[in-house]
Structure 1
Amino acid sequence: MADVVDLIMADHREVERLFDVLQNEPDKRALTLPELSALFVAHSRAEEAEVYPVARSEAAEADEVAHSQEEHAQAEELLAQLKATDPNDPSFETKLNEFVEAVQHHVDEEESQVLPGLRDRLDEARREELGKAFAASREKHIGEQPGQETKQELLVQARNAGIEGAGGMSKEELTQALKSQ
């Protein structure tokens, strides 16, 4: 099984490839956007469930994880707006560019801050174990759409973001707390 850092970076490269198609081949947008959405959501959920808790506790990356969790929430909201826009609508291009910028910023930070911490602080066996868990979680979440998180997934996101008192919140309150960060 592959190292979790390698798996995450491979997903990042695939997202960038899909961005290129969306930006440069407008006739392929209708088919490419669902593929991008499925990968992005599954990747995010797998990071949130498997990687971020370990990065917080074992790799001393609490601040970076909280920030990454916030960026996931923002990007997912932008993705939902993009998906709600007809690819032929003139506003699609603007929404696509906002989403691409948000995700690219997240990828740049994650690859320069969080992932090096995982490589430095976790041994190879632990990174491979985490890679297996990440891949299984990603597979489980393929096909989910933005905004379809369960309450348990929202609780994990809230913990990753350092939100106090999340355990006593309803699903709606958790969603609002994550959005208002």
Structure 2
Amino acid sequence: MTSTPLDLGRPIAGDVVELILDDHRRFEELLRTLRDASSDRDAVRRAFAALHVAHAEAEEQEVYPTLRRKRAVSAHEAEHGEHEHAEGNEALLAVLELKGTDTDAFDDAVEELARVVNHHLTEEELTILNPAREEVSERARAELGLAFVRVRNAQLDDDCGRLENVRRIVARAARRGLLDEEDDQD
């Protein structure tokens, strides 16, 4: 089966909230396609990996720190978002490390990835994006959108979803304590 690169979008500007939501809808579509045994699951997992890493890195480098400075979100909410990105990357790594895409192990790993990512999307939309809409001006959201897409697109250009890079990111998160058991009362 010939692998066709999937369109991950290359926005150049926009309201950061809308840009993040657009990526969230892409994640949901990629997860649906990843569950489809008739799809090119290897291409889909590579596309998902690239988008997940690029999106998370852009949020952690630009969005979360800016929203904290503007007091739209608390330090705890930003740190919790980073913790959930780390969990997502860990689940993603499990999917990437599997050789075959037509096994029960692959299906189980995709199910866990979907569980972790969907939980994060819901929480982020409620606890980070809603406050950003309410507490941050349109102009500031547009400026933050530029910063977000700059990092996101640069990460995609650097092939950020490759297995070695995801391994490095997961190891960094483990060293930072982001993968330790945390109280799940959040």
* 1:54 Cα offset (Å): 1.2
Task: Give the stretch that moved more between structures: 80-89 or 18-27.
Answer: 18-27
- 2:81 matches 1:68: yes
Task: Give the stretch that moved more between structures: 58-67 or 118-127.
Answer: 58-67
Aligned partner of 1:122 among 133, 136, 139: 136
Aligned partner of 1:36 among 48, 57, 63: 48
Q: Is contact 1:4-1:128 (8 Å) kept? A: yes
Q: Is contact 1:55-1:62 (8 Å) kept? A: no
Aligned equivalents of 1:173, 1:68: Cα separation in 2: 12
* 1:174 Cα offset (Å): 6.7
Aligned equivalents of 1:173, 1:27: Cα separation in 2: 31
Q: Residues 172, 17 of structure 1: CA spacing in aligned structure 2 closer, same or farther, 3 A cutoff?
A: closer
* 1:25 Cα offset (Å): 3.7
* 1:91 Cα offset (Å): 0.6
- Sequence identity, in percent? 33
| Structure 2 partner of 1:140 | 154
Q: Residues 124, 172 of structure 1: CA spacing in aligned structure 2 closer, same or farther, 3 A cutoff?
A: closer
- 2:128 matches 1:108: no
Q: Normalising by the residue count of structure 2, what TM-score does the alignment of the two structures yield?
A: 0.80
* 1:89 Cα offset (Å): 2.4
Aligned length: 161
Which segments of 5 or more consecutive residues in structure 1 lack a partner in the other structure? Answer: 155-170
Q: Give the RMSD, CA atoms, in angstroms.
A: 1.9
Which segments of 5 or more consecutive residues in structure 2 lack a partner in the other structure? Answer: 1-12
Q: Normalising by the residue count of structure 1, what TM-score does the alignment of the two structures yield?
A: 0.82
Q: Residues 10, 172 of structure 1: CA spacing in aligned structure 2 closer, same or farther, 3 A cutoff?
A: closer
Aligned equivalents of 1:50, 1:57: Cα separation in 2: 11
Structure with more helix by fraction: 1
